[in-house]
Structure 1
């Protein structure tokens, strides 16, 4: 396949710090967006903004820890299939962009299969079974048990 033989060598310290900074920016964006969520319905309810805000704070703390512990790393990281990594990143971006258009479940079904294929799984029955299982699991947990509907 094209690009399979390309190997990138990156310092573990730089890679971990880059991932920590990008992730921290993503968590900060989540916290910023959560500010615009509506207030709680009553005094006992924490409101819709609390969970993403708490997750963002914990995520930012984890990013700080990752950045701090990266100082101990001295090795090199090999990215053996950069085109697969790039295709996975593009698939996630397309997933986020297409979810409002086609809905959560159809988009998730396709995204799971594409991400697995980008990771190297090419057996159709495994792709299909896993995509169906993930969507079914999310539906049972969120729609049926927690009564949280996805778009």
Structure 2
């Protein structure tokens, strides 16, 4: 087995194991209050969904390792120009998002963060990026604030 295939195999197994570890740790880390014991949407729901997504992602990656033996996900040591810069800018964008959320509010900070990542991923056309960022932010806000009753920062605008 080639080096890149071994790395992909290890990545897949590690992702699956992490998903299972999170799944089994949830009851010990997130206590459900007795008032929410019979409610379908409780504090353990989102972590369980994320654990299942990790497990499924690991399984799909593992299957792709066996299906595409001749192709490599790794670019054989060649690095795309600017990849490290984009990675660092992405990390700065995440820290800025966390720092600006209490000031700007969830929706506005999320719009800016999504715009930043869309640009970093190579889609600088504002007439596509802006509607995508606004719609995605509003959908996320509706799911968490309206449907799941998760309090989100409102920022200086005070309403969203």
Number of equivalences: 141
State the partner residue of 1:62: 56
Structure 2: segments with no counterpart, 5+ residues: 153-160
State the partner residue of 2:135: 133
Using the size of structure 1 for normalisation, the TM-score is 0.62
Matched, 1:121 2:123: yes
Structure 1: segments with no counterpart, 5+ residues: 1-9
Matched, 1:105 2:99: no
Name the structure with the higher strand share: 1
Does the 8 Å CA contact 2:9/2:65 hold for their aligned counterparts? no
**Cα deviation code 1:11-34 (max 9, x no counterpart):** 255246426525754774586467
**Partners of 2:58 and 2:126 in 1: how far apart?**
40
Higher relative contact order (CA 8 A, sep 6+): 1
State the partner residue of 1:18: 11
Does the 8 Å CA contact 1:109/1:132 hold for their aligned counterparts? yes
Does the 8 Å CA contact 1:11/1:76 hold for their aligned counterparts? yes
Using the size of structure 2 for normalisation, the TM-score is 0.59
Cα deviation for residue 108 of structure 1 reads 0.9
Q: Which moved more, 1:50-59 or 1:103-112?
A: 50-59
**Partners of 2:144 and 2:9 in 1: how far apart?**
33
